[in-house]
């Protein structure tokens, strides 16, 4: 849905200060909608995902910029992971954090108390396995050698529909 993805992508560009010519990886890109939007907005964007179905059904215009798994040869100025880490085992999150070729990592994750999400609708996704509070996420990221630049509960223009739930989501920027 371009009417949602393009404004959100522009918000991410502004929030992170992504300049034209900088390489961006959307980790967990699914069909590459954000990659397409970032490219339309003049950024050198790529995506990766583990779903062969998503990658095979991506728009033909964007599919050359998508790959399966974490690209090992390219370095990126920014790696973005929106609504992905909550689907991953802790060992896989650690592997990702250790093996990313970037200096800036931006993740968006739903928050919970360890047992339940603060946004009840997030419980409807059976593939969600991490229901952790903000400090858990920042501690995990720091334990893998990152410094937290910011960790906030709201970024206007991203996931605004959940702003009425104070602890619903985390927006974490980490740097090496």
Confidence of residue 2 (pLDDT cuts 50, 70, 90): low
- Each residue of 54-110: pLDDT tens digit? 999 999 999 999 999 877 777 999 999 999 999 999 999 999 999 999 999 999 999
Could you tell me the pTM of the whole model?
A: 0.95
Long-range contacts formed by 83-86: CB under 8 A, 24+ apart? 83/28, 83/108, 83/109, 83/110, 84/27, 84/28, 85/109, 85/130, 85/137, 86/110, 86/122, 86/128, 86/129, 86/130, 86/131
Interval 118-143: pLDDT, tens: 999 999 999 999 999 999 999 999 99
């Amino acid at each position: 849905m371009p009417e949602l993805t393009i404004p959100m992508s522009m918000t991410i560009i502004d929030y992170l200060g992504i300049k034209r010519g900088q390489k961006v990886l959307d980790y967990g890109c699914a069909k590459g909608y954000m990659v397409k939007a970032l490219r339309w907005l003049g950024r050198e964007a790529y995506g990766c995902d583990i779903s062969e179905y998503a990658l095979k059904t991506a728009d033909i215009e964007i599919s050359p910029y998508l790959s399966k798994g974490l690209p090992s040869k390219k370095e990126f100025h920014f790696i973005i992971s929106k609504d992905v880490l909550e689907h991953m085992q802790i060992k896989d999150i650690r592997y990702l954090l250790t093996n990313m070729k970037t200096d800036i990592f931006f993740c968006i994750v739903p928050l919970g108390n360890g047992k339940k999400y603060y946004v009840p609708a997030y419980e409807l996704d059976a593939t969600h396995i991490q229901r952790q509070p903000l400090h858990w996420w920042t501690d995990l990221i720091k334990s893998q050698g990152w410094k937290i630049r910011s960790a906030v509960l709201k970024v206007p223009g991203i996931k605004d529909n959940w702003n009425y739930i104070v602890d619903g989501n985390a927006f974490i920027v980490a740097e090496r």
